[in-house]
């Protein structure tokens, strides 16, 4: 059973959010996981411009300051996206990060795009998985001495929710590595729901989508690379999840990529999950909907499975926010299942099965 540390967002003049982050950092023993002169990656998500639900740069600065005190050398990082947006190459990605406040003057540490200028700076790592014999790891993640994974926990159409595991799998591999994870999707358009907004056309990395004479989106299945981006961003739910088999293969691939990545640095991974602005969709959107539950708190652990399980449990115990995406829906198994009818627990079960971490946890409230 893994320890997961938790602190809520109740604050005062004597104990604000910044001091709580420092406290949970120390209680989790993260200070013992870094050494002088080591290069420490702080893996975060800079947020697509127009989305304001990501972890703010000022919070990341607190981690930078703590790591600097140890004599180590932190840098803040993420990888390029597979979809065509503001973050699919390092130049655009850094501009986007800057617009969202991730600049040296705020963060106190340099911003490095982990997989290089065009997303092709990666290391190939061999592994023995059910779906993978090798994976691609962004070079700056691979070459770092230790990694802090800071995750904004939220809903997700393909996973049910996104936490540390998804952050590692999608955020520490190259665009070509991301595509292999999503290879079990086969999206199709429901013409009755399509209003020809063209968002899917603009963001499709394979140029596989066009408008018909009837002003409806059409996906060319021969060009489609099954990345799932159109499914995730369609504002009209016109491109629903369409699995070649079911969601389980996506979750299995995700877990196997996580294992391959963290196995390169045994015991050098530390996880912080932020349960605030728990939005229905990913931070890759250039908008964010209202939170589905009130702000809950911050969790810390060395076990990515336990911290994600604890995060999901806390979200499911919370009362839905009035007027949110799940407020008027028929109650299902839990808040996350009400949001998306996906067995989100399968990713955690498979992750435990292949030895990433444990679903059982000991929640220690500070």
pLDDT-based confidence at 362, cuts 50/70/90?
Answer: very high
Q: What is the distance between the alpha carbons of residues 66 and 32, in angstroms, rounded to a whole number? A: 12
| Average pLDDT of every residue of the chain | 92
% the chain with pLDDT above 90: 71
**CATH class given for the domain over 2-181+248-365:** alpha beta
**pLDDT tens string 202-233:** 888 889 999 988 899 999 988 888 777 787 77
pLDDT score of 5 more than 90: yes
Q: What is the pLDDT of residue 81?
A: 87
pLDDT-based confidence at 330, cuts 50/70/90?
Answer: low
pLDDT-based confidence at 252, cuts 50/70/90?
Answer: very high
Calculate mean pLDDT across residues 6-35.
93
Q: What is the pLDDT of residue 333?
A: 67
Q: What is the distance between the alpha carbons of residues 175 and 225, in angstroms, rounded to a whole number? A: 12
pTM of the entire structure?
Answer: 0.89
Q: What is the pLDDT of residue 121?
A: 95
Tell me the domain boundaries of the chain.
2-181+248-365, 191-233
Contact between 217 and 188 (Cβ < 8 Å): no
Q: What is the pLDDT of residue 242?
A: 72
Q: What is the distance between the alpha carbons of residues 284 and 229, in angstroms, rounded to a whole number? A: 10
pLDDT score of 331 more than 90: no
**Contacts of residue 361, Cβ cutoff 8 Å, sequence gap at least 6:** 1, 2, 3, 4, 301, 303, 306, 307, 309, 310
Its CATH architecture, for the domain 191-233, is 2-Layer Sandwich (3.30)
Q: What is the pLDDT of residue 256?
A: 97
Outline where the chain has alpha helix (H): 17-27, 57-69, 90-99, 104-107, 139-143, 164-171, 175-181, 199-203, 229-233, 247-262, 304-317, 335-339, 345-353
Q: What is the distance between the alpha carbons of residues 59 and 14, in angstroms, rounded to a whole number? A: 17
pLDDT-based confidence at 72, cuts 50/70/90?
Answer: very high
Calculate mean pLDDT across residues 189-208.
89
> Residue 323's closest CA among 290, 288, 277?
290
DSSP state of 106: H
pLDDT score of 67 more than 90: yes
């Amino acid at each position: 059973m893994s320890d997961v540390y938790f602190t809520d967002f109740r604050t005062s003049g004597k104990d604000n959010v910044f001091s709580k982050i420092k406290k949970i950092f120390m209680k989790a023993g993260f200070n013992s996981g870094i050494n002088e002169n080591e290069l420490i990656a702080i893996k975060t998500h800079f947020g697509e411009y127009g989305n304001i639900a990501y972890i703010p740069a000022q919070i990341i600065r607190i981690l930078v300051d703590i790591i600097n005190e140890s004599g180590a050398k932190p840098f803040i990082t993420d990888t390029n996206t597979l979809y065509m947006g503001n973050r699919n190459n390092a130049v655009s990605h850094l501009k986007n990060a800057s617009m969202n406040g991730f600049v040296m003057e705020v963060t106190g540490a340099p911003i490095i795009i982990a997989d290089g200028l065009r997303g092709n700076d990666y290391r190939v790592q061999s592994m023995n998985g059910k779906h993978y014999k090798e994976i691609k790891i962004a070079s700056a993640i691979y070459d770092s001495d230790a990694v802090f994974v800071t995750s904004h926990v939220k809903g997700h159409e393909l996973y049910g929710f996104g936490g540390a595991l998804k952050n590692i799998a999608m955020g520490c591999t190259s665009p070509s590595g991301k595509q292999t994870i999503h290879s079990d999707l086969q999206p199709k358009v429901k013409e009755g729901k399509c209003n020809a907004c063209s968002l899917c056309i603009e963001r499709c990395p394979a140029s596989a989508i066009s408008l018909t004479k009837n002003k409806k989106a059409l996906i060319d299945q021969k060009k489609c690379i099954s990345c799932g981006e159109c499914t995730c961003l369609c504002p009209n739910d016109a491109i629903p999840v369409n699995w070649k088999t079911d969601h389980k293969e996506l979750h299995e691939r995700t877990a196997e990529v996580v294992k391959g990545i963290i196995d390169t640095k045994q015991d050098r991974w530390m996880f912080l999950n932020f349960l605030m602005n728990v939005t229905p969709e990913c931070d890759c959107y250039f908008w964010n909907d209202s939170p589905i539950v009130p702000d809950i708190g911050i969790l810390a652990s060395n076990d990515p499975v336990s911290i994600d399980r604890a995060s999901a449990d806390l979200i499911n115990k919370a009362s839905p926010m009035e007027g949110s995406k799940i407020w008027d829906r028929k109650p299902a198994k839990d808040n996350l299942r009400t949001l998306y009818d996906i067995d989100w627990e399968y990713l955690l079960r498979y992750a435990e099965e292949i030895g990433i971490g444990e679903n059982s946890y000991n929640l220690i409230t500070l």
